[in-house]
Amino acid sequence: MLQTSTVAFLQKLAKNNNKIWFDKHRDEYEAAKDDFEALVTGIINGLAVTEPAFKQQKAKDSIFRIYRDVRFSKDKTPYKTHFSADFSKGGRKSPGAGYYLHIEPGGKSFAGGGIWMPDAPLLKSVRQEIDYNFKEFKAIIEDKKFKKTLDKINGEQLKTMPQGYTADNPAIEYLKMKSFVTGSNIPNADITGKGLVKKVLEIFTTMRPFINFLNRAAV
């Protein structure tokens, strides 16, 4: 679970997103960061029970920095107003598919996963994997528990047909995608509830066949 003080810090940061305020409240930030790190550690330990590749992973391998890259953005606010972490077998810099956790007050928290904007060679491999094994892919995403727990697979789509495929391909809805992601919202009340780690792990477990399928293309 997260402490209510961590949620309160993010709420205050959203209203005071500037360096002067942040520097004055750095102690609060450090406490919130440590709290989130403990949560991430708990999730990694849970994943490692059934996925040994996570046994050597540390929270720092998963957690994203709170500082925003504003170089190419019209929004010049310096800090993210959420905490987030990527749980991939190669760490957050892994090009393959992985799980993702986003904690943000105001009903914006969620646990998700998939592969976001892979480079051209990997995207080509993912499309090929879906095309060659669409029956298996369809069975995964149309599983009753998957559909009950997770959102429909989504991602930005091409406006034209991807090279090598035609409109009558039964998988064309997915072959046109440039990202392949899904997720489930986490209510505000659950963020500071004792069952948070369990809830996140249940979402990730439901998602695992989808993640494993995508990662076959990354090998």
Output the tens digit of pLDDT for each of the chain's 219 residues.
899 999 999 999 999 999 999 999 999 999 999 999 999 999 999 999 999 989 988 999 899 999 999 888 888 999 999 999 999 987 777 888 999 999 999 999 999 999 999 999 999 999 999 999 999 999 999 999 999 999 999 999 999 999 999 999 999 999 999 999 999 999 999 999 999 999 999 999 999 999 999 999 877
Amino acid sitting at position 128:
Q
Sign of CA dihedral 4, 5, 9, 15: positive
Which CATH fold would you assign to the domain 4-216? BirA Bifunctional Protein; domain 2 (3.30.930)
Q: Where are the domains of the chain?
A: 4-216
Q: Is 189 helix (H, G, I), strand (E, B) or coil?
A: helix
Q: Is 204 helix (H, G, I), strand (E, B) or coil?
A: helix
